[in-house]
Amino acid sequence: MAAVRRLKREVGRILSGLHAEFPIAECALRHENPFQLLIATILSAQCTDERVNKVTQTLFAKYPAAADLADLPLKTLEKEIQSTGFFRNKARNIKACCQQLVSRYGGQVPNSMEELVQLPGVGRKTANVVLGTAFGIASGVVVDTHVSRISQRLGLTREKTPEKIERELMALLPESEWIGFSHRVIYHGRRTCKALRPLCESCALADDCPRIGVKPR
């Protein structure tokens, strides 16, 4: 119990540090509605947000609704999203996802985890992004490569899989922080706690980081 209480105190300091570093934390994927966010998140797998934003700027201007992408020939869709990588699989999933959005939900994006994860190309991480960012529903914690890496470095988890990491983070974090935590950690990972060369000397969270070589400021 003492270890749990100590970890909870450390989490509180980590959250304070993240809030100070990034008082406003928003999703880096540009979107105007839940549908655009859903498609952008599917495209973001193994791709930078910057690249996705460039692709979706053109994609959504041409095809603004689920019905537009549902009816689009697969080869045309593949060409539109080719630069995001794994474009054939993404195109199949997006087309099938949009077809289901049209047939089941009138072209609208559902706002429940159970319904979202039934859509092609949508796993729990994507559903969490859509629910948290588009609907303000704290369904869980988005665990991408940044959140996974930094949560491990900070000693918040020893788990390796996103599902297990998410469960541990949900138990540690106040529910009110589930959405913002991921956004802030992603920004922190891009700016400071990088995968290969973390900038530990300038890290706002260094005092609570047990990573070897990190010295208190």
Active site residues: 125, 144
Residue type, 161: T
Q: How far apart are CA 41 and CA 165, in angstroms?
A: 20
* The pair of three-digit structure tokens given for residue 143, joined into one six-digit string: 């665990």
Residue 77 DSSP code: H
Assign residue 159 a region (left: φ > 0; alpha: ψ between -120 and 50; beta: otherwise).
beta
CA distance 147 to 140: 13
Q: Which of 190, 164, 175 is CA-nearest to residue 136?
A: 175
Name the residue with tokens 């047939």. Answer: 103
Q: What is the spatial distance between Cα 115 and Cα 109, in angstroms, rounded to a whole number?
A: 9
